[in-house]
A and B are shown apart, each in its own frame.
Chain A
Amino acid sequence: MKKTWLVVIPVMLFVLVAAFLYSGLSSDPRQLDSQITGQPFPEFLLPDLMEPEKNYTQAALKGEVTIVNVWGVWCVTCAVEMPYLTHLKETEGVRFVGLYFDQDLDPDNGTKTLNRVQQEVTELLSRYGNPYAFNIFDVYRDTSLDLGVTGAPEHFVIDREGIVRMHHVGDINERVWMNKIGPLYQRLTGREEQNAQGAGR
């Protein structure tokens, strides 16, 4: 009796530890639980990137399903995803709003002028396509902090009422759109039903 326990207990422990470690193999430590999902978009009052005299509040994101794209010209992945975002805008009519922040434009000891930033943005968008309805300039990166942004690119899917429905860290490519963001977007816009009806006819 005692002998069987001597075998069973270590084997059980081994299996438990192995299962725990195995689950750890596929878990991504960078995958943080988003705190903003399900919450209203944080309040803000920020200027337009191109026309700084124009201001936006969180109300600008309401009324239409919107994907807020956190980006900057210094971010290589952002430039890579730009053509695909533009493609989505053109084919599916997705409304993208840029939340732009600049790395070099340190609010405390800034080295880069706004003009310079605008110039770089115009240049990049003319080269890779411009998916944005407009760009909000997160001057002090406060709104990014409120959203729990850790880098760029990041995306927030906002429903018509201005509630954040999804926080996607990383770029949007075809695979991500098909499997993750697209289905939610279709559901929020109600296009899925239309498609289903269309197919039924």
Chain B
Amino acid sequence: MIRAWLVMLLFVSSLSWAAQSSYEFDSDAQRESFNRLTAVLRCPMCQNQNIADSDAMIAHDMRRKVHQLLQDGKTEDEVIAYMKARYGDFVYYEPPVTIGTIWLWLIPLIFIACATIIVVKRRKPQVSADMAEQLAKADEILRQDKS
């Protein structure tokens, strides 16, 4: 029982850690903007974390900057543009559609299209005359077995 509680406590503490922030906001809307932005901006240092999760110094600085820009009345898009101007497209989890990245969307579609064509074409296997004869024979044997 105690063990179960301890395990639960573990989750509680990590949750509160994620939510911990010393920033003050003018409004709830601004706080939501901040939470949204820090979740979609990627830490350039620890590359598989967003800046809300990362404890790298650069992530701290970027969070502070996001907060400051929001306080200055910048919109979410402007904050993202600000970060992109400094750290490149890399910093935003949604890649822009370019010749190079369009394949991320196209390849799965092409794959599905090809697979569909193949499946549809193969649906009716053509049974050769020889094979049909053998199948008929087999069916007959089966029927005889049953009766």
Contacts and interface: CB of A to CB of B under 8 A. Distances in A.
B57 interface: yes
B55 interface: no
Top 4 A-B residue pairs of the complex, sorted by shortest distance between their CB atoms? A150-B44, A148-B86, A33-B88, A150-B45
Interface string B79-92: 00000111110100
How large, as a class, is the contact surface on chain B? 10 to 19
A30 interface: yes
B64 interface: yes
Contacts, number: 43
Interface in A12-48: 29-30, 32-36
Nearest to B57: A103
B62 interface: yes
Given A147-B86, A150-B44, 15 more contacts: A29-B47, A30-B47, A32-B44, A32-B87, A33-B88, A35-B86, A35-B87, A36-B86, A106-B60, A107-B64, A141-B61, A144-B61, A145-B86, A148-B44, A150-B58
Nearest to A36: B86
A107 B45 CA distance: 20
Contacts of B84: 35
Interface in B60-108: 60-62, 64-65, 84-88, 90
Contacts of B61: 141, 144-145
20 contacts: A32-B87, A33-B88, A35-B85, A35-B87, A35-B88, A36-B86, A103-B57, A106-B60, A108-B22, A144-B61, A145-B62, A145-B65, A148-B86, A148-B87, A150-B44, A150-B45, A150-B58, A150-B87, A151-B57, A151-B58
Contacts of B64: 107-108
Contacts of A35: 84-88
A150 B57 CA distance: 9
A146 B86 CA distance: 6
Nearest to B85: A35
Contacts of B47: 29-30
Nearest to A29: B47
Contacts of A151: 45, 57-58
A32 B90 contact: yes
Nearest to A106: B60
Most chain A C-beta atoms within 10 Å of own C-beta, residue among B62, B65, B86: B86
Contacts of A150: 44-45, 58, 87
A142 B69 CA distance: 12
B104 to A, nearest CB: 13
Nearest to A35: B88
Contacts of A141: 57, 61
Contacts of A29: 47
A144 B64 CA distance: 13
Interface in B30-50: 44-45, 47
